[in-house]
Amino acid sequence: MSEKQQQYWPIFTEKDEIKTFWNKKSINFAKQTISYQQLMKRISWKSNKPTEYEFILSEEGVLFYKKNNKVKGYVQLNEDISLKLIDLKISNKKTDAVKVIRIKRTKDIFIYIWNQDYQYTFQFLKYLCQFCFVQNLDELYTLQDIIGKGGFSKVYTLTPNIRLPNQPFNYAGKVYNKNELLSKKDLKKFYHFIRSECYVLKRINYPYVLKLCEIIQMDELLILVTEYIKGGSLYQYLKDRKRLTELESTQILLKLALGLQQVHNLGYVHRDIKLENVLIDKDQLKLIDFGFAEKICRERLVNGQGTAGYIAPEVFMKQPYQEVGDIFSLGVIYYSILSGKAPFRSNSYDALLKLNKECQIDFSELRFPNISQKTMYLLKAMLQKQPENRINLQDLLNQLTISQILSPTHNMASTQSVVDGSVGLSFNHLQSKNTLKSFYQNSQNSFTDNHSQISEQKPSKQQRNRRYKSQSLDKKGMFFKSSSFKPSLRNIYQIKIEQSDDNISQTDLEQPIPQENLRFLQTSYQTLNYKKFI
């Protein structure tokens, strides 16, 4: 390799400029969420004497070690720290070598850890792989059939050589070959593309984004191990069905928007959202291929690459690519699955780019028969040529969530993430169970107060009939039968949310809100927010 090529291969290598392995500064251990802990023996580069410690890995990727219940040191794991299973001879005695995990920060700074039971050593390795890159393939996986090809990578099915409980039988492996990668003219660009993709995927664990399980860096290969989705792309799915219903299209859009929200929350944009980059299988949907993902830059256009027909018009004007650029590409997908046709179509690549740039889109009723005005409004808002006029992601989610929840054919179970509050609507403060409890009690108290004021008055027949129109939701989101639950929503907006959790007694916490009442309460609140939004 030339000196220049050596800068970009291997893609992942140890880079920390440090003098010690462990950080000894104080840290609030109580704030860390424990992911895995195990008694392990340790040898450092300074000492050959095995010592047993309790090792603890947090969900945030911080590795601690403790002795006598006291934290002795910690390290924040990342993609610049390597892991490798190796055979290590512990002493000069005639004993068999032991399988150990080498955790390496620099060329000369590393530790070995292991458990006498290899099962625990291997299990700990799998947990550590969530945050670091690993230098083993044969100990972990066997490459099987090729299932896809890209511009400079191939995708294979992988089977684990040691399968842990609850572990899938198959994975997908995106394989980059050293020689093929080094032959690329824009080697530096590809290097940063791959690292950005891994950075984003390693930090997202969400149902609608493809999960990156491990990064395997070998001498000649780089393998990105992801979850395996049996179905094909949304492109193939649409090709088989010609066009999708308005309801199914909107459900797909909602899931993609929720997945995209995770990317934007990291401070990144995807930049290559298209039908081919969405995997779909039964109820599963995954946004994939983050090769063009980059940090959001609001000052200038960093990279003008994209897929013709999906590119946000501002890219052609050399304007910065921000979050609404992804919204435009998402709008192209929505247009395509609703109508069965792409908004920009041409057999010539140059002509397709020209149409994409001009952004003259057919929204006629002939193109969208039997599509509601509400959906057409949303579609047009996503495909606005000027980025400042385009709907932003939060407003899109607000509209989609209300649309889904209030849809008479909506399946509550299919969008549980919406019902349980994980969508960033304007009632984010109601996400905790305690706050919902307080909200529920406040509504009940309001009803009691109101009821006491009118109890002395004999209700008219019309009032009695109106009283029995309070309803609850069945499993399909349809209103059915009268309910004894009659919340007053008169002063919902006056609730002091920051104090609501403190107003709940232990007895209250032990008495859960009836599910049908909770669903009605949530829908009522969302209806009010919907009216405010529009």
Binding annotation: 174
Tokens of 43: 């040898």
Q: Are 266 and 395 in contact (CB under 8 A)?
A: no
Q: Are 524 and 517 in contact (CB under 8 A)?
A: no
441: helix, coil or strand? helix
Q: Are 215 and 12 in contact (CB under 8 A)?
A: yes
State which amino acid sits at residue 529. Answer: N
**486: closest CA among 467, 500, 504, 473?**
467
Q: Are 530 and 523 in contact (CB under 8 A)?
A: no
Q: Are 100 and 33 in contact (CB under 8 A)?
A: no
Burial 50-89 (b: 16+ CB within 10 A, else e): beebbbbbbeebbbbbbeeeeeebbbebebebbbbbeeee
Tokens of 213: 């399980």
| Residue 202 Ramachandran class (φ > 0 left, ψ -120 to 50 alpha, else beta) | alpha
User: Which residues line the annotated binding site for ATP?
Assistant: 174
Q: How many CB atoms lie within 10 A of CB 134?
A: 24
**253: closest CA among 377, 364, 399?**
399
Question: How does strand 82-88 pair with strand 133-134?
Answer: parallel
What DSSP string runs through 227-295?
E---S-BHHHHHHHHSS--HHHHHHHHHHHHHHHHHHHHTTEE-----GGGEEEETTEEEE---TT-EE
Question: How does strand 471-473 pair with strand 110-114?
Answer: unpaired
End-to-end Cα separation, the chain, in angstroms: 60
Q: What is the DSSP letter of 80?
A: T
User: Which residues lie closer than 8 Å to 43 by C-beta, 6 or more apart?
Assistant: 49, 50, 51, 88, 90, 100, 111, 112
Q: Are 356 and 343 in contact (CB under 8 A)?
A: no
| Distances 432 to 222, 420, 427, 435 between C-alpha atoms, Å | 42, 9, 11, 5
Q: Are 268 and 200 in contact (CB under 8 A)?
A: yes
As to burial, measured by CB atoms within 10 angstroms (0-12 exposed, 13-18 middle, 19+ buried), residue 163 is exposed
234-241 and 323-339 helices cross at what angle (nearest 10)?
20
